[in-house]
């Protein structure tokens, strides 16, 4: 968001928006782009037409939540500020913090995964090369090779 967005008093407010298609959306106001005449909401739900359409089929509620939707201003029929999202006061005070917003909790995992296997021990050829003073840094950029005697360091 640009610094101009800090001047918009409704950033962070819960917004209810009805498009020219009579579909209602609710989300948090993220940005207003005056140059491109757009409004950006985040954490957006679509509630469908809710009986507003006089002609054509009704659009049902959507189950999914969109992270962001950018609306063209000319296609917005109605927009209302529902409520201001208020962050809880931090448990500490730091004058360096101008603004903070907690992240949404991560969704619970569907199934537990098996723990990752323990890393394999270093090959004996690596240990032998290290004890002879050879290293990857400087002097030709050596790498572990698969040829030669026992897959030792190659230059």
The better pLDDT of the pair 23, 133 is held by 23
Q: Which two tokens stand for residue 11?
A: 């950033």
pLDDT of 16 higher than 60: yes
Instruction: Please give the backbone phi and psi of residue 40, each rounded to the nearest 5 degrees, phi first.
Output: -110, 125
pLDDT at res. 14 = 95
10 Å Cβ neighbour count for 46? 20
Alpha helices by DSSP H, listed for the chain, are 124-131
Which is nearest to 152 in space by CA: 124, 119, 133?
Answer: 124
For the stretch 106-128, pLDDT in tens is 665 555 555 555 555 544 444 44
For the stretch 34-89, pLDDT in tens is 999 999 999 999 999 999 998 889 999 999 999 999 999 999 999 999 866 555 55
């Amino acid at each position: 968001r640009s610094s101009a967005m800090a001047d918009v008093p409704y950033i962070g407010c819960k917004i209810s928006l009805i498009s020219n298609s009579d579909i209602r959306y609710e989300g948090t106001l993220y940005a207003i782009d005056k140059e491109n005449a757009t409004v950006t909401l985040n954490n957006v739900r679509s509630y469908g037409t809710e009986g507003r359409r006089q002609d054509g089929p009704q659009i049902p509620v959507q189950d999914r939540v969109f992270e962001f939707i950018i609306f063209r201003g000319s296609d917005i029929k109605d927009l209302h500020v529902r409520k201001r999202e208020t962050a809880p006061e931090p448990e500490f005070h730091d004058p360096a913090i101008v603004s903070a917003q907690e992240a949404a909790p991560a969704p619970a995992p569907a199934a537990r995964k098996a723990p990752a296997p323990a890393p394999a021990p270093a090959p004996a050829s690596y240990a032998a090369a290290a004890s002879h003073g050879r290293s990857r840094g400087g002097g030709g950029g050596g790498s572990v090779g698969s040829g030669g005697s026992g897959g030792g360091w190659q230059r």
